[in-house]
Amino acid sequence: MSVPLVFDGKVVIVTGAGGGLGREYALAFGVRGASVVVNDLGGDIKGGGKSSNAADKVVEEIKAKGGKAVANYDSVEDGEKLIQTALDAFGRIGAPFINTFACISDLIHRVHLRGSFMVTRAAWNHMKKQKFGRIIMTSSAAGIYGNFGQANYSAAKLGLLGLANTLAIEGQKYNIHCNTIAPTAGSRLTETVMPPVLCESLKAEYVAPLVLWLSHDQCQENGGLFEVGAGWIGKLRWERSQGRIVRKKNQGMFPETVRDQWDNICDFTNATKPANINESVATLVEVLSRVETDEGIAPNPTSAMATAASGISPLEAVGQKLPESTFSYSQTQCILYALGVGMSTKDDDHLKFLYEGHEDFSCLPTFGVIPSQAAMMDGGLGSVPGLNFDFTRVKLLHGEQYLELFQPLPTSGTLTSQARIADVLDKGSGAVILLDVHTYSGKELLCYNQYSLFIVGAGGFGGKRTSDKSTVAHPNRSPDAVMTDTTTRDQAALYRLSGDWNPLHIDPSFAAMGGFKSPILHGLCSFGFAARHVLKQYANNDASRFKSIKVRFVKPVLPGQSLQTEMWKEGNRIHIQCKVSSFIMVVEMTSDSELVFAEIGRRIKDLGAEMVKKVNAVFGWEITKGGNTAAQWTIDLKTGAGALHKGPYSGKTDVTITVSDDDFMEVVQGKLNPQKAFFAGKLKVRGNIMLSQKLEVILKDYAKL
């Protein structure tokens, strides 16, 4: 079982907590260690009257269960008083701040919208100072979708969503997250109109777990909107049709044109899902550009994918040839490519690929993908009959790659490549184009590549779904060999110099547009790492023994991550699986835990300042052998740019973890679940146990401790 979520040391303010959802939230937080401010006016279901009974009763319930709570009877419009109650009783405020109201009256906007604003404003500076806060706004289905007879209530509830979205943006850099829920639950308001059986199915306790998760410091969700009820949770997002440009340069815009294009304007085929105002405005900026170039009445710029499906004709496209391309290179390009896929002078056997004066100077076999890229990147695909859409305006993913060598590649020369469309597949959610590229030196065939290109949103044209060319699964047994290499932070910046200039791999803003938090490594760079692992393991780096390779790209890799290639030998065929590695390889090569901490030290050296901002804690490690302390380590992610020290910390650590050397190795290898180790007493934690979750920042993609 996973480690339970606890809120020790946290102060929670729950408004409208005298009954219904608010009461359920307050009780749940109290049981899990939070200090709770129970706010409730004690009014009736119409918002009238005032009584301390409701809040007092919930406080008593929390205390009876061993929790800490204090009542507050102020209106949410008096937000400062509410916050002061928290400060007076518990010395601070924190996450989460929960906003739920049950009052419906002529004061709807004052209570729901203005009240939420007032309480948040009162808490905001305190949250900023402590660099932590969790805010959950309570909207409703009436606010999201509208509801007959509830105009004022709906307006207020949707206003809360707008408020929450802006708070999420403004609070991000202070570790203040704001999310919105739209719950359906039985309450004082619904019990008079809903059958008892339905009310029982819509218990408030079926909403509270979502609120607790969104409030926890482990949860990084921010700016989300969730519907919840009856034990079901769903996330909502905005969707926008591809739209239509309905004016020309220096001409007016007329309602008749809007009328004539209405079906296209409202067509949600291949709809976009803008997540922020920048994505929204970006479309309009491009629209202005299209209008300025006088492209006239046309689909909006993001609608290329919408027209992609209708522009695909497999019968017409398959067999079509692209313009022949030429690629000239020298030994410099061969060396640059070798460096781009991780070769280094620190390995003597790499020198034959890095030094032109070496007696066996050679070109890496996978360099064969480089001359073939020109055929694809020179824009030839867009001119192929049957593929009538703009490849510069679609989301194109590299799905698979096949490379076959017919002889070793020369270290310099001028090559020509001939490309043709081998197949077009309809995957429903997109189209797959198989592009064959044959590369020649004069009339001599050197290599053959097949690119599998997935075009998002271009499916649905009625083509076949599968091809007879596919990768083969690796054997169902442990690998025969494993090799690991660490990419550098600049790996993508180096690899792109071999000719793949896609800004997705270097420009953070462009990567964000593609849905990535940071630039990602080229798939063909990972491909190069894996191939040279096989070349070293099974061919002693003899390029002439390399025949062919086919891979499928599954997940992105970030520069700086380690790549682990697992290899299975079956006859003269090597099956491989390359993935972002854990500490497994380090542990298999040596049982000395010092190597693990050395790797942690390297990560801190690369990302220390960033880690300090996210973690702000000092961790002590005590590694034991035979019941005695064998080594002590300090991971300081609180001061300066972070540091790793061997030995105890000179001051007081925030968390100290004690574990035997053997169990430590079992954990980092993934053989021992850290939570199970904790509950079994094999892994002991002193101090703020919740801070140990932040070690994931250091051990991301590795075992979580």
Angle (CA) 23 24 28, round 5°: 115
**325 three-state secondary structure:** strand
| Secondary structure letter of residue 240 according to DSSP | B
Instruction: Judge contact between 12 and 37, C-beta under 8 A.
Output: yes
Q: What sign does the dihedral 211-213-214-215 (CA atoms) show?
A: positive
User: Cα 621 to the chain's mean position, in Å?
Assistant: 30
Give the residue among 457, 33, 479 at the shortest CA–CA distance from 270: 457
Does residue 687 sit in helix, strand or coil? strand
Task: Count other Cβ atoms within 10 Å, centred on residue 634.
Answer: 19
Residues with Cβ within 8 Å of 453's Cβ and at least 6 positions away in sequence, in order, are 376, 396, 397, 398, 399, 432, 433, 434, 435
421 phi, psi to nearest 5 deg: -80, 115
Helices (H), 542-660: 584-589, 594-615
**Which two structure tokens, joined as six digits, stand for 174?**
């202070």
Q: How far apart are CA 318 and CA 464, in angstroms?
A: 12
Distance CA 658, CA 621 (A): 6
Distances in Å between the Cα of 583 and the Cα atoms of 2, 53, 587, 646, 665 are 22, 57, 6, 19, 9
Show contacts of 628-634: CB within 8 Å, 24+ apart.
630/661, 631/593, 631/594, 631/661, 633/597
Distance of alpha carbon 421 from alpha carbon 417, whole angstroms: 13
SS3 175: coil
Q: Give CA–CA dist 671/665, Å, rounded.
A: 8
Give the CA count within 13 Å in the CB-facing half-sphere of 698.
31
DSSP letter at 174? G
State whether residue 689 is helix, strand or coil.
Answer: helix
Contacts of 500 (CB under 8 A, 6+ apart): 373, 377, 522, 524
- The answer to whether 133 and 95 have CB atoms below 8 angstroms apart is yes
Nearest to 393 by CA among 513, 281, 313: 513
Residue 220, strand partner residues: none
* Residues paired with 15 in a beta bridge: 39
Sign of CA dihedral 580, 586, 587, 592: negative
Residue 680 bridge partners (DSSP): none
How far is residue 675's CA from residue 672's CA, in Å, rounded to a whole number? 9
Q: Which of 25, 73, 145, 153 is catalytic?
A: 153
Distance, CA of 38 to CA of 15 (rounded, Å): 7
At 175, give phi and psi (nearest 5°): 60, 35
Distance of CA 271 to the CA centre of its chain: 21
> CA 685 → CA 2, 623, 666, distances in Å?
16, 12, 17
Neighbour tally for 490: CB within 10 Å? 11
Tell me if residue 153 is catalytic. yes
The answer to whether residues 656 and 620 touch, using CB atoms and an 8 Å cutoff, is: yes
C-alpha–C-alpha distance, residues 521 and 496, integer Å = 9
Distance, in Å, from the CA atom of 147 to the CA atom of 144, rounded to the nearest integer, reads: 9
Catalytic residue annotation: 153
